[in-house]
Amino acid sequence: MVASDFGAMIRGETRRWSRGRIARFILGRILLYAVVGGGALLYLMPLLLMISTSLKSADTLYVRPFRWIPETLHWENYLKAWNSFPFSLYLRNTVIITVLNLLGAVINCSLAGYALARMRFPARNLFFGLLIATMLLPSQVTFVPEYLIWWKLGFVNTWVPLILPGWLAVGSSRIFLFRQFFRTLPAELEDAAKIDGASPFGCYWRIALPLSMPVIGVVALFEFIGKWNSYVAPLIYLKDADLYTLNVGLNMFKDAYAQELSHMPNMHLFMAIATMIVVPVLIIFILLQRYFVEGVQLTGLKG
Amino acid sequence: MEKVRRFAPVEAVLSRFLGRSRLGRKEAMWAHIFTLPWLIGFLLLRVGPFIVSAVMSFYRWRGYGSPRFVGLYNFNWILTKDRLFRKALEVTARYASLTVPIGIVLAFMIAWMLNKNLFGVVVMRSMFYVPSVVTGVAVAFMWLYILDPRNGPLNILLTDVIGLKDPIPWLSSPRWVMPSFAMMSLWGIGSSMVILLAGLKGIPRVYYEAAIIDGANSLQRLRRITIPMLSPSLFYILIILTIRAFRVLTVPLVIFEPESGRPQGPMNSALFYTLYLYRSAFVEAKMGYACALGWILFLIIMVLTVINFLAIGRRVYYEE
């Protein structure tokens, strides 16, 4: 709009806003709003359906015509779902795995990123090259031999293969993100600290890290999302039901309850559980959506 | 001086790794400590799997006993006799050819519309983006419900409101499995959209103003300015979406596995490559075979990426 305004001015049009043009502009805007708004609603629809169904009772589940808002909201579904499988245990497991992995990833990725950005050492270019090379390597190529390695080390059926990779800074894109950010910090800050006798670790811990909160936020968010949603790794590595995460547990729950897939009688409970798994992610997303968007724009990688 | 000279070779090697000056050496030592976790992870979880997989692909091993060396047997079997391998390639290729072009166009269209200073643009951007942060089992479940042939909301909408005669057998007919998966994939297009939106915002406005002075219409502006300026982001999305097509695993596992014990869907219509890999390793316990499949996947992705770079990467416009 601004651009076309400008164009009209340049062309020296005196009647810049003739009636026809105003009408066309308004019509265009209405059309645009309709398309974008409709599309956005369409994208949100599946999640709304999930929540709506989670609040229905078993006998009104498949009543037609379809009701968006149930006549009575059955909040007790959530309690029932919570109690119908070891939800609190799996929630605890998931939180522990997610948080430990996230901590490790933030600490060790930022350390490696700091070294690559700020410190001089002969292997730096070599390491950076290796880092870039692993960024391009898709993980599904190596998940079978990775399993064999963890199996050989005796860590199958423990949380180690789910947590340790975070501490070993496996997410190359995270290191890259930290490196790129640290390079933008002014070097004078560290030089001043070095003159005052700070060690490289002191420079990292006291100066670089406190300034890099946005990147820490982005990395933590993406680690959180990735681990919270991950299914295949816990499925492969965890054998004991006590160790399961929410995702694995939920699927086992489905095995036990769904004899016949179409016409599942417990769909409202499934949707309640699914909602409970999705809601923490949604809350974090709503609170920190600026970081999400920044993160995607910085790395283009998710999960 | 003499004493020092005696250790000259050692010092030469040391200084090669640690840097020359004492201060530099201290810094280099710290740098190695900082990068040590990453280095261990790199060797254990990046280089290690490659070696293990390269060795194992020449063996037959069913998860117990000792592996038996079979030479190129695995590769030979995969490339000449394995029908499921061909099916997996076909399914993945069909999925990619459906989701990559449509995904790019859709992401571009949404980003383009969101870039027009609309009221409430942040909320709408979030609505488009939310689906790509919620993934995993819960979402696969949600789709299972929505796409249920008899009672799913989508079929209710299609039959009761729009007036379709027969409900669509979304996940139970081989014909409809691929459109269903494409739909789920397009639902999660948000991250590509956000990348393109950032790219659009990065195009300097003066280019458009100059084009308008020269009398370019909106279609010409799109073709001559927007798309060339956006080509790095578009190219990046092309690479990412192509690789992502080879990644489908969770959704077919959750949707098809428990009902039938066959995660590959009706008549193998959802036998995605990674799913076949997973099945070979963890269901049929053919570890050596799965490693060979992994190597072939690696080569396929490499070749595709190189082709992408050669065919399209050259036309990408990078501003100096």
- Distance, in angstroms, between A225 CA and closest chain B CA? 7
Rounded average pLDDT per 10-residue block, chain A, 303 residues: 51 62 86 92 93 86 77 87 86 95 95 92 90 81 91 94 92 88 86 84 90 87 90 92 90 64 69 91 85 65 38
- What average pLDDT does chain B have? 86
Residues in chain B within 8 Å Cβ distance of A50: 142, 145
Residue pointed to by tokens 């959180």: A224
- Distance, in angstroms, between B247 CA and closest chain A CA? 7
Q: Which of B113, B137, B138 sits opposite A36 (nearest CB)?
A: B113
Q: Which of A6, A46, A296 sits opposite B195 (nearest CB)?
A: A296
Residues in chain B within 8 Å Cβ distance of A114: 34
Of B22 and B275, the one with more pLDDT: B275
What's the confidence (pLDDT) of residue A151? 93
Closest Cα partner for A222 from A159, A299, A278? A299
What's the confidence (pLDDT) of residue B65? 80
The predicted model gives B110-137 an average pLDDT of 88
Structure tokens at A239: 């054998």
Q: Which of A168, A225, A250 sits opposite B37 (nearest CB)?
A: A168
Cβ–Cβ of B131/A46 closer than 8 Å? yes
Lowest mean pLDDT among A207-211, B13-17, B88-92, B290-294: B13-17
H or E stretch covering B68 = strand B68-69
The predicted model gives B276-299 an average pLDDT of 92
DSSP 8-class letter at B69: E
Whether residue A7 contacts residue B213, with contact meaning beta carbons closer than 8 Å, is answered with yes
Helices (H), A55-168: 76-84, 87-118, 124-135, 143-152, 160-167
What's the confidence (pLDDT) of residue A200? 86
Whether residue A37 contacts residue B124, with contact meaning beta carbons closer than 8 Å, is answered with yes
- Distance, in angstroms, between B84 CA and closest chain A CA? 18
Per the DSSP assignment, residues forming a β-bridge with B68 are: B60
Residue-by-residue DSSP string for A7-51:
HHHHTT-S-TT-HHHHHHHHHHHHHHHHHHHHHHHHHHHHHHHHH
Q: Which of B35, B212, B258 sits opposite A127 (nearest CB)?
A: B35
Cβ–Cβ of B42/A53 closer than 8 Å? no
Q: Which of A134, A231, A261 sits opposite B250 (nearest CB)?
A: A231
Size of interface A-B (CB pairs under 8 A): 293
> CA torsion angle for A98, A104, A109, A110 (degrees, to 10)?
110
What's the confidence (pLDDT) of residue A302? 38
Out of A199-213, A244-258, B91-105, B113-127, give the one with best mean pLDDT.
B91-105
What's the confidence (pLDDT) of residue B55? 92
Q: Provide the pLDDT confidence category of residue B162 given band limits of 50, 70 and 90.
A: confident
The predicted model gives B226-232 an average pLDDT of 90
Read off the pTM: 0.86
Q: Provide the pLDDT confidence category of residue B5 given band limits of 50, 70 and 90.
A: low
Whether residue B152 contacts residue B145, with contact meaning beta carbons closer than 8 Å, is answered with yes
What's the confidence (pLDDT) of residue B64? 80
What's the confidence (pLDDT) of residue B316? 81
CA distance A290 to B185: 24
What's the confidence (pLDDT) of residue A16? 59
- Distance, in angstroms, between B170 CA and closest chain A CA? 12
Cβ–Cβ of A232/B278 closer than 8 Å? yes
- Distance, in angstroms, between B11 CA and closest chain A CA? 15
Per the DSSP assignment, residues forming a β-bridge with B59 are: B69
Counting beta carbons within 10 angstroms of the beta carbon of residue A20, is it exposed (0 to 12), middle (13 to 18) or buried (19 or more)? Answer: exposed
DSSP 8-class letter at B159: I
Whether residue A47 contacts residue B130, with contact meaning beta carbons closer than 8 Å, is answered with yes
Cβ–Cβ of B253/A144 closer than 8 Å? no
Is the pLDDT confidence value at B3 over 70?
no
CA distance A51 to A49: 5
Q: Provide the pLDDT confidence category of residue B38 given band limits of 50, 70 and 90.
A: very high
In chain A, ranges of CATH 1.10.3720.10 domains: 80-299
Residues in chain A within 8 Å Cβ distance of B129: 289, 292-293
What's the confidence (pLDDT) of residue A196? 83
DSSP reduced 3-state for B59: strand
Residues in chain A within 8 Å Cβ distance of B16: 122
Whether residue B172 contacts residue B266, with contact meaning beta carbons closer than 8 Å, is answered with yes
The amino acid sitting at A183 is R
Residue-by-residue DSSP string for A151-216:
HHTT-TTSSHHHHHHHHTT--HHHHHHHHHHHHHS-HHHHHHHHHTT--HHHIIIIIIHHHTHHHH
CA distance A169 to A174: 8
Residue B60 phi, psi dihedral angles, 5° rounding: -105, 125
What's the confidence (pLDDT) of residue A46? 93
Cis, peptide link before residue A65, omega less than 30° from 0 = yes
CA A192 to chain centre: 37
CA distance A80 to A83: 5
Closest Cα partner for A285 from B114, B181, B194, B239? B194
Chain B residue with minimal CA distance to A254? B258
CA distances from A248 to A3, A57, A126, B263 (A): 53, 25, 39, 15
Is the pLDDT confidence value at B180 over 90?
yes
Closest Cα partner for B200 from B228, B219, B220? B228
* Disruptive mutation site among B51, B115, B141 for chain A (greatest number of A CBs within 10 Å): B141
Structural fold of domain B75-315: MetI-like fold (1.10.3720)
- Distance, in angstroms, between B171 CA and closest chain A CA? 11
Residues 222-281 of B with CB under 8 A from A: 236-237, 240, 243, 246-247, 249-250, 253-254, 258-259, 274, 277-278, 281
Class of domain A80-299: mainly alpha
Whether residue B135 contacts residue A274, with contact meaning beta carbons closer than 8 Å, is answered with no
Q: Provide the pLDDT confidence category of residue B110 given band limits of 50, 70 and 90.
A: very high
Q: Provide the residue ranges of all domains of chain B, joining segments of one domain with +.
A: 2-47, 75-315
